[in-house]
Amino acid sequence: MFGYVRAYQPELKGKELEQYRGVYCGLCKTLRRRYGRLASWTLHYDFVFLALFRMEQQPGCAGFRPLRCPYHPLRRRMCCRQNEALDFAADAAMVLVWYKLQDTKADAGFFGRLGARIALLLYRRCYRKACRRLPAFDALAADCMRQQARLEAERLPDTDRAADPTARMLAFLAAADSPEADRPARERLGYCLGRWIYLIDALADLEKDGRRGGYNPLLLKYPGKPLPEVRAAATASLNASLAECIEAYRTLPEGNFRSILCNILQWGMPAAQRLAALPAAERKENNT
């Protein structure tokens, strides 16, 4: 579920790349400050997108400063200063990580379930803090995961309905506390982004789910079709969702991080799609 929404760094200018990395570092520090060092291990660039997207609607920028990082101790790194958007992204991350672990505990193999059970014990206190800070989102996430479990138990071949729980969660996060005039576009962007995340995860897992018999709506929607045809159909659906994300974003007022967010939508996410559409062996080669 995590790790697909990221910038295409070769297309970022020097200042933009420094800001992007600075928000990542700021979010890492925020996770450690609010939830402890263990929480920073859950950090993914998806939550950096959420923090940037939320910072854009704020009137000013929190700014950046050079700080020491325990993971890069030899030189100072630019770090985004503490702000409400980083706090919100960290809280949302803890809620989503908790439910992702619950999903893994239910669906994975023996060792995956064992790892998820251990992680759930380790992150229980973090989750309890986060759901006190975002009770409405926690209630929505719990409802969405129940819906997801029902769909998976029914082995529903409908990709739109299968993606709906993830899409609803992202719509909530994208529009939370936004100005009323911007809310429809932010909700639409978040919904299409959530659908995209769900479907790209299903695309990346085609071979694994095919071997293990795991629930994958793409395999159920196109039974008996060769994997290249399933990948082509999934890519077309992903392109449609991404196009809607971009169109919704274009209707929003410009903010401090417009160029970075446009890079993620127009370069980074298509690059993630191309990688996910490769067979697993080729994907591994491209990642090395």
Q: For residues 97 and 122, is the Cβ–Cβ distance under 8 A?
A: no
pLDDT at 3: 83
pLDDT at 71: 72
Instruction: Return the CATH architecture of domain 9-287.
Output: Orthogonal Bundle (1.10)
pLDDT at 60: 63
Report H helices in 110-226: 110-133, 135-154, 159-175, 183-204, 206-212, 217-221
Q: For residues 130 and 35, is the Cβ–Cβ distance under 8 A?
A: yes
What does the DSSP 8-state code read for residue 58? S
Beta bridge partners of 72: 69
pLDDT at 287: 64
pLDDT at 72: 72
pLDDT at 112: 80
CA dihedral 28, 33, 36, 39 (to 10 degrees): -30
CA dihedral 30, 123, 53, 268 (to 10 degrees): 110
Measured CA to CA, the distance from residue 184 to residue 144 in angstroms comes to 20
pLDDT at 272: 95
What is this structure's pTM? 0.93
Angle at 65 (CA atoms; ends 60, 66), nearest 5 degrees: 160
- Chunked into runs of 10 residues, the chain (288 residues) has average pLDDT values of 87 93 94 92 92 84 80 80 94 94 80 85 94 97 95 93 97 94 96 97 93 92 94 96 97 92 97 92 71
Q: In the numeric block, which tokens belong to residue 129?
A: 């803090």
pLDDT at 148: 93
